[in-house]
A and B are shown apart, each in its own frame.
Chain A
């Protein structure tokens, strides 16, 4: 009996060691850059294949989602369709969530990510970002009666934020004179504002635009504070062919006014008339 037990223990240990080695090995041994020779996502490879594989969100209205007829729609999705059209190929959508956007590129599941991908220094190390097609920044929403329109009005007052957001980060580091009231979820933070727990609430401005549309007693008094953040298409690190093409494409589409059109059809119904396309779309 004892003999068998030992065998099992050794076998178990070996298995675990093997599994760990496999996992560790596979993530570090091979660099995951697209080499020119075997780039399955180069412009010529995409044209040959006849499909552009685009990673998009499936559950983030109004950027990438599925409507009640089962059709993929949204600001990012419209851009994806346009890019495929200009390449002369059909779009094929790969649904991703926020966590697997990078891996989807690295494992060659998609050629390009158009999933509300904010450009950050950390992400720049693992993927290549093309030119931005959208900008977001922190906004501040407050009751219309006591509208906050300047940051200086917030000195010594309470501001609601959600933990882990750019808004929390910005106020903690750049506006130490403002008291923060922190919550875990979007639902909680908006409820707190409705219950007058603070003078204002700060979050990504695009969320706020959508929210004030449903809550007309409030207004996004400060549309943008802090550093602007940009949303860009991302390709696999080293995929120069598609990166160059995407840069040209974004420039071309910006000039043509495509993004304003895209804004009007996809985002405007969510954001209402208080927001102008210029708050989201980049200038020509």
Chain B
């Protein structure tokens, strides 16, 4: 064979297109994380409250999103929402919706766990100082909880980024989808192109995810040293 197939990556606009696909994946992950973490914080806080009804509803919400596979969630928002309720947004926003709800559910549990593990005496000291509920949450609980929940949150972020590979199921032009287009378009001339394209996608995901993973490890180690 005259060429090894790696040239498939650099023909025409192939490389730019793959990068564009990666950008779509990262963009959806980041927006979903921002929205999901905000909602998740509120839900997590609500889950530490006394009201049984609120706790029960939020527990249902959490379990629903934890049990249902992400790909089913994507299908639900992409195909069922438009069909039943006439909500028809572009696929990328549908993806953001599904991912945000999922992140919110997962994160609410992380927040709840972190808040509950702040020692009781901290809470009591705060109340003794005359802080109201909001001040107590803002200055005593949240600042301590954040440190506790950070490694788990980063872990969640890496999972969200990885899960964007499912987006091709709902016709989002993510990096995998673009990769498949390139593989099939060049199958005749570059039979080994599949190896190079998926190889590059592997490296791309690694570059995005590995620093996060390192950071999480670093934080955990730091917390243990304390």
Q: Which residues of A contact B (CB under 8 A)?
A: 8, 11-12, 14-16, 18-19, 22-23, 26-27, 29-30, 32, 58-61, 65-70, 94-96, 100, 103-104, 106-109, 214, 270
Contacts and interface: CB of A to CB of B under 8 A. Distances in A.
A1 B181 CA distance: 54
A59 B184 contact: yes
Given A26-B83, A106-B83, A95 B173 contact: yes
B64 A19 contact: yes
B14 A68 contact: yes
Given A106-B79, A107-B80, A19 B68 contact: yes
B59 A67 contact: no
A58 B17 CA distance: 14
Given A65-B181, A65-B184, A15 B83 contact: no
Interface of B: 11-14, 16-17, 56, 59-60, 63-64, 67-68, 72, 76, 78-80, 82-84, 88, 91, 169, 171, 173, 177, 180-188
Contacts, number: 94
A11 B60 contact: yes
B63 A107 contact: no
Contacts of A14: 60
Contacts of B78: 107, 109
A215 B183 CA distance: 21
Contacts of A108: 82-83, 88
A59 B181 contact: yes
A58 B67 contact: no
Contacts of A18: 60, 64
A56 B13 CA distance: 21
Given A61-B187, A214-B188, A68 B13 contact: yes
Given A60-B184, A95-B171, A103-B79, A68 B64 contact: no
Quick one: which of A16, A59, A65, A108 has the most chain B CB within 10 A? A59
25 contacts: A11-B63, A12-B63, A12-B67, A19-B67, A26-B76, A26-B84, A29-B84, A30-B84, A65-B181, A67-B185, A68-B186, A69-B13, A70-B12, A70-B13, A70-B17, A95-B173, A95-B177, A96-B171, A100-B79, A103-B79, A107-B80, A109-B79, A109-B171, A214-B188, A270-B188
Name B's interface SS. helix
B83 A58 contact: no
B128 to A, nearest CB: 30
Please provide the 7 A-B residue pairs with the shortest distance between their CB atoms, ordered closest to farther.
A68-B12, A59-B184, A15-B63, A66-B181, A107-B82, A107-B79, A26-B80
A59 B82 contact: no
Contacts of B181: 58-59, 65-66
A257 B67 CA distance: 54
A32 B82 CA distance: 11
Contacts of B186: 68
A16 B59 contact: no
Nearest to B8: A68
Contacts of A106: 79, 83
A35 to B, nearest CB: 12
B185 A66 contact: yes
B11 A58 contact: no
Nearest to B171: A95
Contacts of A23: 72, 76
Given A61-B187, A68-B14, 14 more contacts: A15-B64, A23-B72, A59-B183, A61-B184, A65-B181, A65-B184, A68-B12, A68-B13, A68-B185, A68-B186, A70-B16, A100-B169, A108-B83, A214-B188
B171 to A, nearest CB: 5
A6 to B, nearest CB: 13
Contacts of B184: 58-61, 65
Nearest to B10: A68
A58 B177 CA distance: 9
Nearest to B186: A68
A32 B80 CA distance: 11
Contact of A69 (B12, B63, B79, B83): B12
B64 to A, nearest CB: 5
Contact of A65 (B16, B60, B72, B185): B185
Contacts of A22: 76
A114 to B, nearest CB: 15
Contact of B67 (A8, A16, A27): A16
Given A12-B67, A65-B185, A95-B177, A109 B60 contact: no
B82 A109 contact: yes
A11 B59 CA distance: 7
